[in-house]
């Protein structure tokens, strides 16, 4: 049975990607900011049956389903389809510094544009209208990529105009969170324009999307009292990991380190859908990027300032070939990293898939219909976690749902 927008949002499954609105420009669905500070779809008129069926099939909040893509890539039970793992960084020193980790992702975009393999990039950057909001950005050269580099730990809807993009002339690379990319991959199975127009989909690993209230809480904790005086705000970057930095009109700067901004504030504002996310690691992308954290002698990630490096996971033969071409052209440098090192560099992601089934079971036990998550080795990951962790995560989710019956 087709699931309605209300049922998807009400069960806490919406990730705010914008796909449902984007597939029918000028249609009845538009994205709005919710009272909780997330982007959510609102239908102002009945949704036509064909659009409702398409949304039901491709909404990544509802569907994270592996299809026939990338048969060449062996599937790792934890890390998904992968060809190679590397550490990489942009050879453009300013871009490397401005980027989130090593600018590996941005280096791919710069290479694709310079080589004429694409006409433009669809990505997310700070909004022109507000320094504390994100907006979809079209980038056509290195300077655009530079401005959009860096992580914006706040809602984004990069699929919000997808049908318009697919109708427009030109081929583009798409950058998104793992759920955004999974949604576009699902759309490609139904709409041949996607493969014709989007030769590359790039993702970064994602621990979840904090609400705009999270951004606000960071500003408060920094001591920014007058929000209207903020002229620029970054979550990190300008170093690795860099500092959350707010600059006021009079030039006053407020900063906060990554450990505090992400580790103690932003991660308390994640939307419910991210708590049950089965793909924080970008399994549907051609290449996924993440922080290639250095680790201490006990294997824990260190967040001390140093030259950035991106963890690079190539997931399709096309993605691996792109990385090799970008390296041969001098846009990116890399060194090998063993797959076993990923567990130390990304300990949260290493555990995360194991939590999904217990959390979805808790949803079901309070009466919500579950999402469709297929082909992700979730049962194997739950087994690896063990009975105690599963019970803890089931009960924790039940408590969360008891506090808020409608988690959307
Ligand atoms: C919400 C969120 C959660 C994250 N969680 C993790 C994590 O758990 N582990 C981890 O290693 N890394 C995480 N990252 C990603 C990480 O911070 C880096 O993006 C990654 O290391 C790649 O770095 P880079 O220097 O290669 O990327 P860059 O060259 O800096 O490129 C970053 C790209 O991300 C895009 N982008 C930034 N913010 C958003 C957004 N909100 N929505 C869509 N696109 C965006 C930009 O347009 C840019 O193209 C997260 C990022 C975000 C935004």
- Cβ of 245 closer than 6 Å to ligand 1, yes or no, is no
What is the number of the ligand 1 atom nearest to the C-alpha of 289?
A: 22
What's the gap in Å between 330 CA and the centre of ligand 1?
22
Per DSSP (E only), the strands in 105-199 are 120-126, 134-139, 172-176
**Is the beta carbon of 261 within 6 A of some atom in ligand 1?**
no
And the tokens for 351? 């555990």
Structure tokens at 85: 């793992």
How many secondary structure helices (H) and strands (E) does the chain include? Answer: 17, 17
CA nearest neighbour of 58 among 208, 182, 155, 195: 182
For residue 87 and ligand 1, the question of a CB distance below 6 A is answered with no
Backbone phi, psi, residue 212, to 5°? -65, -25
Q: State the Cα–Cα distance between residues 137 and 44, nearest whole angstrom.
A: 26
**Is the shortest distance between the CB of 139 and ligand 1 below 6 Å?**
no
Phi, psi of 68 (to 5 degrees): -80, 0
For residues 363 and 371, give the distance between their C-alpha atoms in angstroms, rounded to a whole number. 10
pTM (two decimals): 0.98
Contact 185, 44 (CB under 8 A): no
- 60 in ligand 1 pocket by Cβ < 6 Å? no
For 279, residues 6+ apart whose C-beta sits below 8 A from its C-beta are 64, 80, 178, 179, 182, 376
Give average pLDDT by consecutive 10-residue segment, the chain, 408 residues: 93 97 96 97 96 97 96 97 98 98 98 98 98 98 98 98 98 98 98 98 98 98 97 97 97 97 97 97 98 89 94 98 98 97 95 97 94 98 97 96 77
Residue nearest atom 31 of ligand 1, based on CA coordinates: 149
Name the nearest CA neighbour of 331 among 147, 90, 117: 90
104 lines ligand 1 (CB under 6 A): yes
- Scanning 3-138, the segments in alpha helix (DSSP H) are 5-10, 19-22, 49-58, 93-98, 104-114
Which residue has the least CA distance to atom 3 on ligand 1?
A: 206
- Position 403 scores a pLDDT of 84
CA of 205 to the centre of ligand 1 (A): 7
Ligand 1 within 6 A of 287 CB?
Answer: no
3-state secondary structure of 61: coil
DSSP 3-state of 191: coil
Mutate to test the pocket of ligand 1, among 148, 150, 151, 177 (most ligand atoms within 8 A of CB): 151
Ligand 1 atom closest to Cα of residue 96 = 25
Instruction: Give kind and range of the element (H or E) at residue 287.
Output: strand 287-291
Ligand 1 pocket, 352 CB below 6 A?
no
CA 152 to ligand 1: nearest atom: 38
For atom 20 of ligand 1, which residue has the closest CA? 290
The two tokens of residue 191 are 């709409």
From 97, 159, 204, the mutation candidate for ligand 1 (largest count of ligand atoms within 8 A of CB) is 204
DSSP helix, strand, coil percent of the chain (3-state; round to 5)? 40, 20, 40
Give the separation between CA 38 and CA 31, rounded to whole angstroms: 10
- What's the confidence (pLDDT) of residue 405? 63
Closest C-alpha to ligand 1, atom 45? 124
Q: Give 71's strand partners.
A: none
C-alpha closest to that of 155 among 266, 252, 239, 265: 266
105: CA distance to ligand 1 center in Å? 9
How far is residue 119 from each of residues 109, 158, 174, measured CA to CA in Å?
Answer: 11, 17, 11
User: How far, in Å, is the centroid of ligand 1 from the Cα of 275?
Assistant: 18
Q: Which two tokens stand for residue 48?
A: 């036509």
Helix (H) or strand (E) holding 185: helix 178-188
- Can you give the pLDDT at residue 332? 98
Q: 239 alpha carbon to ligand 1 midpoint, in Å?
A: 14
């Amino acid at each position: 049975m087709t699931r309605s927008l209300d049922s998807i949002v009400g069960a806490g499954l919406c990730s705010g990607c914008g796909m449902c609105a984007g597939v029918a420009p000028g249609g009845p669905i538009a994205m709005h900011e919710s009272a909780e500070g997330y982007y959510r779809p609102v239908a102002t008129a009945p949704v036509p049956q064909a659009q409702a069926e398409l949304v039901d099939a491709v909404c990544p909040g509802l569907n994270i389903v592996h299809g026939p893509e990338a048969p060449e890539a062996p599937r790792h039970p934890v890390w998904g389809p992968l060809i190679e793992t590397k550490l990489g960084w942009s050879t453009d020193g300013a871009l490397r510094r401005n980027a989130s980790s090593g600018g590996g992702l941005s280096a791919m975009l710069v290479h694709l544009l310079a080589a004429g393999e694409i006409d433009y990039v669809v990505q997310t950057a700070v909004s022109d209208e507000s320094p504390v909001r994100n907006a979809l950005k079209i980038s056509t050269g290195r300077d655009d990529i530079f401005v959009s580099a860096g992580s914006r730990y706040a809602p984004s809807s990069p699929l919000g105009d997808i049908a318009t993009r697919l109708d427009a002339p030109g081929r583009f690379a798409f950058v998104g969170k793992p759920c955004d990319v999974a949604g576009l991959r699902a759309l490609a199975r139904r709409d041949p324009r996607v493969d014709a127009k989007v030769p590359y989909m790039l993702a970064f690993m994602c621990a979840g999307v904090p609400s705009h209230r999270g951004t606000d809480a960071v500003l408060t904790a920094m001591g920014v009292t007058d929000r209207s005086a903020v002229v620029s705000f970054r979550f990190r970057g300008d170093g690795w990991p860099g500092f959350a930095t707010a600059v006021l009109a009079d030039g006053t700067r407020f900063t906060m380190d990554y450990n505090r901004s992400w580790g103690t504030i932003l991660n308390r504002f994640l939307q419910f859908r991210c708590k049950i996310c089965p793909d924080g690691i970008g399994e549907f992308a051609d290449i996924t990027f993440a922080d290639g954290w250095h680790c201490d002698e006990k294997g824990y990630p260190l967040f001390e300032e140093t030259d950035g490096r991106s963890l690079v996971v190539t997931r399709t033969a096309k993605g691996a070939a792109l990385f090799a071409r970008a390296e041969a052209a001098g846009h990116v440098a890399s060194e090998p990293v063993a797959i076993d090192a990923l567990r130390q560099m990304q300990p949260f992601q290493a555990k995360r898939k194991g939590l999904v089934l217990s959390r979805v079971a808790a949803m079901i036990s309070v009466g919500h219909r579950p999402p469709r998550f297929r082909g992700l080795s979730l049962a194997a990951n739950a087994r690896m976690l063990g009975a105690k962790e599963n019970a803890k995560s089931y009960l924790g989710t039940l408590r969360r749902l008891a506090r808020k019956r409608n988690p959307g």
